[in-house]
Amino acid sequence: MTATATSARSDLSELGRSETALRAFLHGLPGVDQVGAEQRAAQLGTRSIKTTAKAQAIDLAIRMVDLTTLEGADTPGKVRALAAKALRPDPADPSCPHVGAVCVYPSMVPYAAEVLRATGPGRPSDGPGPGSATGRPSDGSEPAGGAAPTGLGGVHLASVATAFPSGQAPLEVKLADTRAAVEAGADEIDMVINRGAFLAGRYGEVYDEIVAIKDACGGADAGRQGRPRAHLKVILETGELATYDNVRRASWLAMLAGGDFIKTSTGKVPVAATLPVTLVMLEAVRDFRAATGRQVGVKPAGGIRTTKDAIKYLVMVNETVGPDWLDPDWFRFGASSLLNDLLMQRTKLKTGVYAGPDYFTLD
């Protein structure tokens, strides 16, 4: 990290100490050109890729999927089956990569961990994930852009927490929710910000809550102290933020408070991930790394259902932030139905035969 970046990071770390300074910084960010952002996203969405590149993109997209079930009717059996599919998405093809993570409610974490743990030695306190382009110091210290801890069996175990999806609960409840998920085996936590506080301009309250949840995940010193450490994805619920300027501010707020990922949506509101919103978030993580030297991941979630959709996002990642983010450690898709479409398209490219949707298990 350069001296300039080190100084900038130090200056930015002080913002959380003052509501006034935090507000001034967030409202001093450049405004988003709505028309320009939407035109740029639409333009990138028209890019086509050749067959060989498409095959590589499909495998990469599979590795980036957070295979998710977040329903009130979830059962241990359903979660175990989902975890098994995460490890072997296409049992008939051993060359098919595993997904990035399984994402479930805290109460379902033990059942997913039971399946994932059976395939590997367990979750070390720190270390790069399989195929990661970014290493991690052996002493567990946090590099400028730390990859997530290695998941069980190569697949991460994510849990939503903090009164998902509304985020409307006392802080102590949210902290208990987070700690319980981590202790049960989650190595990633997807938290939701308090949108009411954010939209009311109580940025310090949102900042402090993210910092507290980060600490409940284990904090930066967890690897050295032998405690479990979960990486933190901060859900902005962009469909409720009303403007692209608010999306940019919320992205910076989450990163300043220590979020390892910023995520678009819970998938529980009508407007979930969109290409323009993801573009704004990608620009934010790019600018944040330029200012601080720390890399933060991005996770669009909700509404991404087809291979064509996924490839549009991958093109946008490459064109906006470059290949450093084209890795499951730095970009994920929050999805359930997307995986089956990726598998169908993968089979078509390999065999020339298009498998129907009933060929793969329904999630």
Question: Rounded to 10 degrees, what is the CA torsion of 306, 333, 330, 126?
Answer: -130
Task: Judge whether 174 counts as a catalytic residue.
Answer: no
Question: Rounded to 10 degrees, what is the CA torsion of 19, 25, 26, 28?
Answer: 140
Label residue 133 left, alpha or beta by phi (over 0 means left) and psi (-120 to 50 means alpha). alpha
Tell me which of 260, 299, 327, 329 is the catalytic residue: 299
Tell me which of 174, 233, 263, 312 is the catalytic residue: 263
Contacts of 221 (CB under 8 A, 6+ apart): none
Reported as half-sphere exposure (CB side, CA atoms, 13 A), residue 256 has a value of 26
Residues present in the chain in total? 363
Asked if 176 and 222 touch (Cβ cutoff 8 Å), the reply is: no
Burial 258-276 (b: 16+ CB within 10 A, else e): bbbbbbbbbbeeeebbbbb
Task: Judge whether 33 counts as a catalytic residue.
Answer: no
The torsion angles phi and psi of 3, rounded to 5 degrees, stand at: -60, -35
Task: Judge whether 85 counts as a catalytic residue.
Answer: no
Tell me which of 66, 90, 187, 190 is the catalytic residue: 190
Which positions are catalytic? Answer: 190, 263, 299
